[in-house]
Amino acid sequence: MGSSRLEYTLGNHGSENFRGDDIMESATKSFQKGEIPGIIAIDEATCKGCDSCKRHCPTGAITGMFGAVHRIDADRCINCGQCLVSCPFGAPFETVDAVETVLTRLNNKDVAVVGIIAPAVRVAIGEEFGLPAGTLATARMYGAMEKAGFKILDNNLAADLTIMEEGTELLHRIQGELSGGEAPEEGHGPLPQFTSCCPAWVRYVELNHPALIPHLSSAKSPQQMAGALAKTYGAQKIWGVEPGKVFTVGIMPCTAKKFEASRPEFISAYHHLAAGGGTYSGEAFPDVDAVLTTRDLARLLKKMGIDLAKEPGSAGDSVMAEYSGAGTIFGNTGGVMEAALRTVHAVITGTEMEPLEYRDVRGLKGVKSASVNLIDAKTGKALQVNVAVVHGLKENIGAIVDEVLSGRSPYHFIEVMNCPGGCINGGGQPVHPEGSGWMSAIAPLFAWR
Amino acid sequence: MGKKDYQYMENPFQVTRREFLSITGAIAAFTALPAVWVRSRVTKRNNYLRARAAGLYLDDRNAKIRVSHGNPVVTKIYDEFAHAPLSEISEALFHTRYINRSKGIA
């Protein structure tokens, strides 16, 4: 692979519009070969030095005095994009833009372009087409994207897969702990288990708290599961095309997903097909070829003259668009936890949770915690599962991390999302004049609310 | 000395109790205005976060199947392809590893 992998990555993730040459020279210490070295940069001509971005940066990656031009230290940056959606002047920009790349693939009839639609996109993209915030536009999105030439793989389906994989992993970890504290079996890491869906959080751990890496679920994020699934099972059983002819596009509320897709670990479909699992002998390809944010997709549709607001709607072209309600709430803070609890409850007690809504983990409180008592259907023993949900990394992660590092954490499972409110407030979402990160910065002033 | 006591005396500034209260009230109101304005902005911003969140919870309520293990396509994928969670294929395609990047910011 080597440097060709870098070319490949940048080639697919939008090299034509890559505006990060200066970053590539300065920051490479915290990047693996092939990774996009920094998704967010600040335009020096636009920056007024107002310091808004610094108030929202979870890692202190932004330097520059008040009144002077600000810069992002790409090595510290976790690509969350909260500075971008919070800047009153629009100075931060994304260094990679795959819109043109995706357009050329859509025009190539030999290529099956698969759109992997994240949950939070469907309730925000309407804002780019004049619909009120929160309008649920799943069917209209499917319709608009099919018109543009996409095949649909709803990432909510991959979220359901994530629950199966991550939930099973959690049960193994809990069983390992219950079986007497012996060294955890291989692959069954320590408790508490952290979620690994948020690529900004994963990079935060890798940079700042490598001691926590064994606590991260080994499950890939839904985007990466979806990419690997599309190029193996999807290519063979659903769309009947060669894996090398599938071009996967993550449609994400998130700028960090662009970085995640470029990680060299994520060429697993190729490895699977080239090794024992198949007879594939073509060139190597990544699991996810390109990532468009919610804003990027809106721009692409507008370029093609498609008005999402006027689309009649579609139910998707295959079973790859079928998802559960648990998969769709992944975009909210607490959603991954609620989805996991629904399945863990059913697996341990043998009955469905009643009611299915688990309100203790919903809402905008910075850290939410809850205890769930379950009766094991097989042994008849009671099992208490303690969970915590964290969002808004900047304000809320410190105490949780300290507890885990010092071995005092009472929790079994902890969900972490970097952005305040979860993916619905991601760095790739439509930008509002109020600035999307304000809640976390100003909330302490309004403690009575 | 002694004939006259010269004492400096300020012009008396006299307000009635009623005037004092109304002036204080006016100052308090003007001080509070920006706080109310900022608060309304924050509320507005939380409102559209809440609207997006409510959209996803609506999608959940509308769903015919509301639990991941009940999704027939998930079952189909395991039956036809990946066998089970944490199987060899699942480990290869659905799991990953992480690296220590802390030297990059040391």
Tell me, yes or no, whether A152 and A113 share the same domain: yes
Please indicate whether residue A185 is annotated as part of the active site. Answer: no
CB contact under 8 A, A332 and B53: yes
Q: Which helix (H) or strand (E) holds A293?
A: strand A290-293
Whether residue A237 sits in one domain with residue A140: yes
**Tokens 């959603």 belong to residue:** A335
Is the CB of residue A128 less than 8 Å away from at least one CB of chain B?
no
- Residues A147, A139: Cα–Cα separation, whole Å: 12
User: Is B64-106 assigned to CATH 3.40.640.10?
Assistant: no
% of chain A beyond a pLDDT of 70:
87
Per-residue pLDDT of A420-434, as tens digits, reads 999 999 999 998 766
Q: Are residues A297 and A412 in the same domain?
A: no
From A304, A325, A346, the end of a domain falls on A325
**Domain-by-domain residue ranges, chain B?**
33-63, 64-106
Nearest chain A Cα distance for residue B30, angstroms: 19
The answer to whether A256 and A78 have CB atoms below 8 angstroms apart is yes
Q: Tell me the pLDDT band of A445, cut-offs 50, 70 and 90.
A: low
Is the pLDDT score of B76 beyond 90? yes
Within 8 A of B55 by CB-CB distance, chain A residues are: 122-123, 134-136
Domains of chain A: total: 2
Give the CATH number of the domain where residue A335 resides.
3.40.950.10
Write the CA distances from A304 to A141, A246, A307, B53, B91, integer angstroms: 14, 21, 9, 29, 39
Q: Is residue A391 part of a domain?
A: yes
Chain B interface mutation, best of A62, A155, A175, A332, highest count of B Cβ atoms under 10 Å? A332
CB within 8 Å of A73: residues ≥ 6 apart: A27, A61, A62, A63
For residue A82, pLDDT over 60 is answered with yes
Q: What is the pLDDT of residue A439?
A: 53
* B window 56-75, beta carbon within 8 A of A: 56-63, 65-74
Q: Are residues A214 and A363 in the same domain?
A: yes
Per-residue model confidence as pLDDT tens digits over A342-373: 999 999 999 999 899 999 999 888 899 999 99
Task: Tell me whether residue A177 is one of the annotated catalytic residues.
Answer: no
CB A134 to CB B68 under 8 A?
A: no
A409 CA: distance to closest CA in chain B (Å): 22
- pLDDT single digits (tens) B8-47: 777 777 888 999 999 999 999 888 888 777 777 666 767 8
| Residue A431 covered by a domain | no
Using the beta-carbon criterion (under 8 Å), do B59 and A165 form an inter-chain contact? no
Q: Is the pLDDT of residue B79 over 80?
A: yes
Is any Cβ of chain B less than 8 angstroms from the Cβ of A152? no
3-state DSSP of chain B: CCCCCCCCCCCCCCCCHHHHHHHHHHHHHHHHHHHHHHHHHHHHHHHHHHHHHHHHHHHHHHCCCCCHHHCHHHHHHHHHHHCCCCCHHHHHHHECCCCCCHHHHC
Residue A195, sorted as left (phi over 0), alpha (psi -120 to 50) or beta, turns out to be: beta
Residue A223 CB: number of other CB atoms within 10 A?
28
Q: Are residues A206 and A226 located together in one domain of the fold? A: no
Q: What is the mean pLDDT of residues B65-78?
A: 96
Q: Which of A397, A404, A428, A444 is nearest to A80 (CA)?
A: A428
Query: What ipTM does this complex have?
Result: 0.90
What is the domain-level CATH number for residue A238? Answer: 3.40.50.1780
Does the CB of A274 have a partner CB in chain B at under 8 Å? no
Confidence of residue A3 (pLDDT cuts 50, 70, 90): very low
* Å between B27 CA and nearest CA of chain A: 21
Chain A CB contacts of B43 below 8 Å: 449
Give me the pLDDT at residue A126, please. 95
Count of A–B CB contacts within 8 Å?
232
Shortest CA distance from B90: residue in chain A = A165
Report if residue A209 sits inside a domain: yes
pTM recorded for the entire structure: 0.88
Task: Choose among B46, B104, B43: nearest CA to A37.
Answer: B104
Report A:295-354 residues touching B (Cβ under 8 A). Answer: 319-320, 322-329, 331-332, 335, 339, 342-343, 346-347, 352
Optimal mutation site among A76, A122, A123, A354, interface B, most CBs of chain B within 10 A: A123
Contacts of A261 in chain B (CB under 8 A): none
Q: Which residues of A touch B72 (CB under 8 A)?
A: 322
CB atoms B66 and A232 under 8 Å: no
Res A444 pLDDT > 80: no
Give the Cα separation of A123 and A184 in Å (integer): 41
Judge if A386 and A356 occupy the same domain: yes
Q: Is the domain of A106 the same as that of A165?
A: no
pLDDT value at A315 more than 80: yes
Residues A107 and A123 grouped into a single domain: yes
> Do both A307 and A415 map to the same domain?
no
Range of the domain at A352: 161-219+326-425
pLDDT one-digit tens code per residue, A15-59? 444 555 555 545 568 999 889 999 999 999 999 998 889 988 999
**Residue A268 to residue B92, Cβ atoms within 8 A:** yes
A436: pLDDT strictly greater than 90: no
Angstrom distances, CA of residue A121 to CA of A19, A118, A325, A429, B83: 25, 6, 15, 7, 31
- Helices assigned H by DSSP within A323-377: 325-328, 335-349
Is A202 within 8 Å of B45 when comparing Cβ atoms? Answer: no
Tokens describing residue B68: 């991941």
Distances (CA, A) of A336 to A77, B13, B62: 24, 66, 18
* HEC profile of A132-190: CCCCCCHHHHHHHHHHHCCEEEEHHHHHHHHHHHHHHHHHHHHHHHHCCCCCCCCCCCC
Cα–Cα distance between A141 and A153 in angstroms, integer?
12
- Report d(CA A22, CA A86) in Å as an integer: 23
Same domain, A171 and A248: no
Pairing of strands A367-375, A112-117: unpaired
Together in a domain, A152 and A169: no
